[in-house]
Amino acid sequence: MARGPAVVIVPMNDWLEPYHESVRAPAPLALHIAEGADERLSSVVAERLLAARAPVIVSGAGSDDPRTWAALERLAEALQCPVWQEAFGGRAGFPQDSKRFAGHLPAGRAGVRAALAGHDRVLVVGAAALRQYGYEDGEMLSRDADVLVVTDDAAEATRSAADVAVLTPLPGFCARVAELAAARPPARAAEPPAGRLADHERPAGPELRAEDVFRALAVWLPADATVVEESPSTRSQLQDMVPARSPLGFLSAAMGGLGFAMPAAMGLKLACPGRPVVAVIGDGSSLYACQSLWSAQRYAAGVLYIVLSNGGYAIMDRLAAQAGGRAPWPSFSDIDIAGLARSFGCRALDVRTHDELARAFGDTIPPLASLGEPLLMNVVVAR
Ligand SMILES: Cc1ncc(C[n+]2csc(CCOP(=O)(O)OP(=O)(O)O)c2C)c(N)n1
């Protein structure tokens, strides 16, 4: 039986008010539930955005589908506002080559406050407001900014520190909000496009660095490539330098549980055989599920595995140093990652120089979509 859109409004402000006095509570003040592109709710959201002095959008993994990408691009254009990617998102919520894309939000409160300073209304789509890593003191946002969350995930909605949360399927709702916003130019001065973050330094010497690999990937990868990420100490450089340009263009385990990328890349390639799939993995991380190379070979999953071999757990060493200690775990530059891959029947090669990298990418990436078996490149990089 066909049913019309149902809207349930659950005001939660009574019991949250005392907390809200001092710090935003980890729950929305009001939660609205809509089955579809509810007309009243979408116009309330569009009106609020149009009335803002300086709105901003934060988009997350839940927005990773072609219709939501298109709707958010249209909305950002109508509002002439920047769009950030949520911190530690497992998927890209917005085209990262768009001129409205501002970059990846930091995962700490001080960084979020700085990135979103000056904005009086934050629309969070396809994510909770807002994912953090370690605890940091202080407010997430300035007190005069309010937060709207639109998500199809009930857990995200209910744990969001937001003024209003709307729980609804995203593509239709976002398209309707964008349509309403586009029909009426905002009554404020145009903000210049945000633009992407800068490139990192050019090669400094003969030794390869992770940034050199990412710069080459940005040149060689086609727009429909999927990058599966598990490179803890260089994740932010990878995200800055290799933008997701199509839905499902970026995939990771979100908060960094290791052992995801190798099997995930294989599964993705088997599900989408026509797509170029590249997994970018730290050498430490590669040891968590390297037996999946045997499966990738056996099932002819043509993934390019790029292992960034810096001979240790760089991110853990960094955390130990920040805590004023010495890492108790050993380095492991003696492990032969390419040999390990071969032992599972997977083709593998070592890359040590800029020339070898250029040759390896030039040979492999143009035909990557139709690669019929996995290939592992063990790229030796500086710490
Ligand atoms: C299942 C699991 N075990 C342990 C960790 C802790 N951990 C986080 S990063 C890391 C080391 C990663 O090393 P590598 O992949 O070489 O990347 P690098 O830090 O050198 O870039 C470890 C052990 C984790 N995140 N998940």
Q: Do β-strands 121-125 and 55-59 pair in parallel, antiparallel, or remain unpaired?
A: parallel
CATH superfamily of 7-183: TPP-binding domain (3.40.50.1220)
- Residue 314 CA, ligand 1 centroid: distance in Å: 8
Could you tell which of 133, 285, 290 is best to mutate to test the pocket of ligand 1, judged by most ligand atoms within 8 Å of the CB?
285
pLDDT at 193: 67
Using the atom order of ligand 1, give the atom closest to the CA of residue 281: 15
Residues of the chain with pLDDT > 70, as a percent, come to 89
Using the atom order of ligand 1, give the atom closest to the CA of residue 317: 19
Could you tell which of 258, 305, 329, 380 is best to mutate to test the pocket of ligand 1, judged by most ligand atoms within 8 Å of the CB?
258
User: What is the distance between the terminal CA atoms of the chain, rounded to a whole angstrom?
Assistant: 61
- Residue 232 CA, ligand 1 centroid: distance in Å: 6
State the virtual CA torsion across 348, 230, 330, 356 in degrees, nearest 10. 40
For residues 36 and 63, give the distance between their C-alpha atoms in angstroms, rounded to a whole number. Answer: 16
pLDDT at 225: 98
3-state SS class at 137: coil
pLDDT band at 21 (very low <50, low <70, confident <90, very high): very low
* pLDDT reading at 190 higher than 80: no
DSSP state of 273: T
Ordered by start, the domain boundaries in the chain are 7-183, 210-380
Please give all residues whose beta carbon lies within 6 A of any atom in ligand 1, as ranges.
Answer: 231-234, 256-259, 282-285, 310, 312-316
pLDDT at 143: 81
Q: For 284-302, what is the mean pLDDT?
A: 98
Per CATH, 7-183 and 210-380 having the same topology is answered yes
- Residue 80 CA, ligand 1 centroid: distance in Å: 39
pLDDT band at 192 (very low <50, low <70, confident <90, very high): low
Taken in order 246, 248, 249, 255, the sign of the CA dihedral is: positive
Q: For 120-148, what is the mean pLDDT?
A: 91
* pLDDT reading at 54 higher than 90: yes
- Ligand 1 atom 4, closest CA: 258
252-to-120, 151, 280 alpha-carbon distances in Å: 31, 20, 10
Could you tell which of 233, 281, 308, 333 is best to mutate to test the pocket of ligand 1, judged by most ligand atoms within 8 Å of the CB?
233
Could you please state the CATH topology (level 3) that the domain comprising 210-380 is classified under.
Rossmann fold (3.40.50)
pLDDT band at 201 (very low <50, low <70, confident <90, very high): low
For residues 11 and 242, give the distance between their C-alpha atoms in angstroms, rounded to a whole number. Answer: 42
Could you tell which of 238, 313, 322, 340 is best to mutate to test the pocket of ligand 1, judged by most ligand atoms within 8 Å of the CB?
313
pTM for this model (two decimals): 0.91
Tell which wins on pLDDT, 128 or 25: 128
Q: For 247-270, what is the mean pLDDT?
A: 96
For residues 277 and 249, give the distance between their C-alpha atoms in angstroms, rounded to a whole number. Answer: 9
pLDDT at 144: 83
pLDDT, mean over the chain: 90
Using the atom order of ligand 1, give the atom closest to the CA of residue 256: 25
pLDDT at 112: 94
Q: Angle at Cα 109 formed by Cα 134 and Cα 92, nearest 5°?
A: 85
- Ligand 1 atom 17, closest CA: 282
14-to-10, 28, 32, 287, 314 alpha-carbon distances in Å: 11, 12, 16, 51, 47
Q: For 281-291, what is the mean pLDDT?
A: 98
pLDDT at 135: 84
Question: Do residues 277 and 303 make contact, with C-beta atoms less than 8 angstroms apart?
Answer: yes
Q: Angle at Cα 56 formed by Cα 87 and Cα 231, nearest 5°?
A: 20
Q: For 286-297, what is the mean pLDDT?
A: 98
Question: Do residues 240 and 103 make contact, with C-beta atoms less than 8 angstroms apart?
Answer: yes
For residues 157 and 311, give the distance between their C-alpha atoms in angstroms, rounded to a whole number. Answer: 41
- Residue 315 CA, ligand 1 centroid: distance in Å: 7
- Residue 132 CA, ligand 1 centroid: distance in Å: 19
Tell which wins on pLDDT, 362 or 134: 362
pLDDT at 308: 98
